[in-house]
Amino acid sequence: MKGEPQTILLAHGSGGQLSHELVERVFVRHFDSSILAELNDAAIVEFGGFNFHVPGSTNLQPETDNLKLAFTTDSYVIQPLFFPGGDIGKLAVCGTVNDLAVAGAEPRYLSAGFIIEEGLLLETLERVVVSMAETARAAGVQIVTGDTKVVNHGAADGLFINTAGVGVVPPGVHLSPSNLRPGDLILINGTIGDHGMAVMMQREGMEFGSSLVSDCAPLNGLIADLLAACPGAVHCMRDPTRGGLVTTLNEWATAAGAGIEIEETAIPVREEVRAACEVLGLDPLYVANEGKVIVAVAPQVAEEALAALQAHPLGREAALIGQVTDEHPGRVVLHTPLGARRVVEMLVGAQLPRIC
């Protein structure tokens, strides 16, 4: 009824349309930060043009060169805590490392905050922490600070983890949807929907073969290779987590005021994922990923970019899936195998809750 107070729904955490409305209406509006308003996976903050004191000296250190840092944070509430291909600890490290990497940064340091439900087995917690440590070493980052809270039984569904990360942005690197230009080509480093469907099958106790495994992985090595192969020609990157491929592309189209067209037959999807989606009535275009990156590059370097992705173990199934256009600004259009064209909108509702 009119006048009734609005409440938070699961769909507000889906990464889709309601999530965006919540962020714009509440957080961006009240925090009033131009950096936050860019709504990138990581905030890019710049330091420079100031003096600082050297301890033990009365002299001022000369002005520093400008230093750009990427800063991000994320919280992980996945259920179950362990799934084929990963666990909440691996997910927490990979998710934060990837948010820094798609901003063009070299990830350096992470924090780790744990909200632990009373009754969680110490063995379970240690297993998660060991996984985080192993993943951090594989990604070349250090976990340098953190916090632990224990809450009453029933208040945290076992374990929640928050991580924040800091990385250094190399000179000359600037990745943003505002860089998108008509003619830019869209690439992805492999199959979509693996993470979301692996988690759902584990949660529901269903089996679609041993190959249905999460793609959870740190992407900073792959992305560093790509940026080195195509200096200055990579315009934008994003890891399509909540809301999947199409939701991320809709974010780009809206932010850039450009159109994006994608070829359905070019988008790599494993048969096991496609079958699982059909059983559950889901669309793999909207299913979450945790080891994928979407890349927009200048058309003249598309071959070099694709080769750089395919040369890395995490990009062997990389594909060219679409392009940026000056037609239908703000919309994403899918070309179907039958030759039809249809607009694919941002995710509405909560397709897969509690998967990251």
Q: What is the pLDDT of residues 242-256, one digit of tens each?
A: 899 999 999 999 999
Please give, one letter per residue, the 3-state secondary structure of the chain.
Answer: CCCCCCCCCHHHHCCCHHHHHHHHHHHHHHHCCHHHHCCCCCEEEEECCCCEECCCCCCEECCCCCEEEEEEEEEECCCCCEECCEEHHHHHHHHHHHHHHCCCCEEEEEEEEEEEECCCCHHHHHHHHHHHHHHHHHHCCEEEEEEEEEECCCCCCCEEEEEEEEEECCCCCCCCHHHCCCCCEEEECCCCCHHHHHHHHHHHCCCCCCCCCCCCCCCHHHHHHHHHHCCCCEEEEECCCCCHHHHHHHHHHHHHCCEEEEEHHHCCCCHHHHHHHHHHCCCHHHCCCCCCCEEEECHHHHHHHHHHHHCCHHHCCCEEEEEEECCCCCCEEEECCCCCEEECCCCCCCCCCCCC
Average pLDDT, stretch 11-21? 78
Average pLDDT, the chain: 91
Q: Comparing 126-130, 280-284, 346-350, which segment has the lowest mean pLDDT?
A: 346-350
| Confidence label for 67 from pLDDT (cuts 50, 70 and 90) | confident
| Confidence label for 24 from pLDDT (cuts 50, 70 and 90) | confident
What the chain holds in terms of domains, given with CATH numbers, is: 40-46+67-168 (3.30.1330.10), 177-343 (3.90.650.10)
| Confidence label for 1 from pLDDT (cuts 50, 70 and 90) | very low
14 vs 209, which has greater pLDDT? 14
Average pLDDT, stretch 83-89? 97
pLDDT digits (tens, 9 = 90+) for 283-311: 999 999 999 999 999 999 999 999 999 99
159 vs 46, which has greater pLDDT? 159
The percent of residues above 90 in pLDDT, for the chain, comes to 72
Instruction: With a cut of 80, say whether residue 54 has pLDDT above it.
Output: no
Q: Comparing 17-21, 97-101, 278-282, which segment has the lowest mean pLDDT?
A: 17-21
| Confidence label for 40 from pLDDT (cuts 50, 70 and 90) | confident
Which pLDDT value is given to residue 11?
A: 77
Which pLDDT value is given to residue 169?
A: 95
pLDDT digits (tens, 9 = 90+) for 113-156: 999 999 999 999 999 999 999 999 999 999 999 999 999 999 98
pLDDT digits (tens, 9 = 90+) for 154-186: 998 999 999 999 999 999 999 999 999 999 999
